[in-house]
Amino acid sequence: MAVQNNALVKSGDIKNFYLHYNTFCSSGSSAACDAIIHQWKYVSYEHAGMTSQEIAAWENSVTQIIEHYNHQCKDNTCRNHLRSQKYRYMIEHAGTPEYLYQLESSLITYIHGPMAAVTAAGHQISGSVVEAYNTVSRQSVRGGSRTQVNNSAKAHKNSEVATVGTHHS
């Protein structure tokens, strides 16, 4: 199982992620933005010790919650906020499904106001999403493929860092 609350170990990592995200992604999706997101996802996933199955389940979990609320947005400002929250939670809280409840509550509050989260008891879909992620996470441990995933993540991260470096000039 992924290490709990160990996505980005140092607060400096989180600050650097936000700085890169705001620099490269504030105007929407681009090759540089995608490279930054990819780089930081693998840094976070490596710190969390996630297997490839856990990574796929984690990304699917966060995406399901975002997509559930995306259609409730009335404008691009809202959609851009949801996009940034998607990557914030995916990266900052990698492999920690408890944060999916917080994500859903924050989206309900953002879209519908603070009373909506109270009325909806805060969560509409995150319970089933967390349950699905935990099932994959438990099965993933039995597979024992963690070393292989971490090594490929390191290689992938190193190639992403090189790719990202070319976007600065």
CA distance 63 to 68: 8
Helix (H, G, I), strand (E, B) or coil at 29: coil
Q: pLDDT tens digits, the chain, 169 residues: what are they?
A: 444 444 555 678 888 888 888 888 887 778 999 999 999 998 899 988 999 999 999 999 999 999 999 999 999 999 999 999 999 999 999 988 889 989 998 998 899 887 776 665 555 667 777 777 777 777 765 444 444 344 444 444 443 433 343 333 3
Measure the CA–CA gap between 152 and 54, rounded to whole angstroms. 14
| Domain assignments of the chain as residue spans, ordered by start | 11-139
